[in-house]
Amino acid sequence: MVNRKVFTRALVGLAAAAAALTVLAPEAGAAPAQGARQAAVQQALAVTPNVADSGCTGRTLPLDCWVHEPVVTQPSTTYPTIQFLPGDHVTVDAGGCVQTGGHGATWKRYVDPASDNGLYHGLINIPGATAGTQQIWTAVGRTFTVGGSGGSLVLGYQDDGYSDNGYYSHDDGTGNQCKGVGNAWVHIVIS
């Protein structure tokens, strides 16, 4: 008997590979070169900010997805290589710190920042599982079941100015909250 979820995930993977191959070989009747699928995967990773190719691009569950240094220079970023299908179980973990800019010790934790103005939180949206975009601390350690039609992972960052955010000039952070702590990361397991 064919597992419907695995079959659907395989079809989605084939559709994504076919779309990428069209980009790689647009002429009608052109035969894709050896290794074109791997090239398509690498191309998708190249346009998806900071996603590590660590088993996330496969179609066999579980998928182990890492985003190293999630984008914090804009309110939200879609990560198209991390796809959710109806019925997927999604477990979320996150940690690390972010440069929020300004003067003095300005790094803050990505998940649960110590700040006096309610800003600097990492954000997450798992289509069909979370109630839209929410602060990532509300998702860490939880497992969600995807409903609806699913979609791509969206990560965001909550700030009142984005131009000086990033991962440069590491300091111990406001109140030493980032002392000995590396850059922000998000870990998603899809099963």
Q: Tell me what pLDDT residue 43 has.
A: 53
57 & 121 share domain: yes
Cα 120 from Cα 107, distance rounded (Å)? 10
CATH at residue 116: 2.60.120
63 & 157 share domain: yes
Spatial contact of 69 and 164, defined as CB atoms under 8 Å apart: no
133 & 71 share domain: yes
- For 182, the enclosing helix (H) or strand (E) is none
- 30: containing domain: 1-47
124 has which bridge partners? 134, 155
- Residue-wise pLDDT for 14-70, tens only, equals 444 433 333 333 333 433 333 433 444 455 555 555 555 446 877 788 999 999 999
DSSP for 11-46, written as a single string: HHHHHHHHHHHHHH--STTPPPPTTHHHHHHHHHHH
Proportion of the chain above pLDDT 90, given as a percent: 63
Domain end (from 47, 62, 81)? 47
Q: 56 or 74, which is more confident?
A: 74
12 & 70 share domain: no
User: Which residue in 153, 159, 51 sits closest to 98, CA to CA?
Assistant: 159
Q: Tell me what pLDDT residue 56 has.
A: 80
36 & 124 share domain: no
Strand blocks (E) in the chain: 51-52, 63-68, 76-84, 89-95, 97-99, 107-109, 122-125, 134-135, 143-145, 151-157, 185-190
This prediction's pTM: 0.75
- Average per-residue pLDDT in the chain? 80
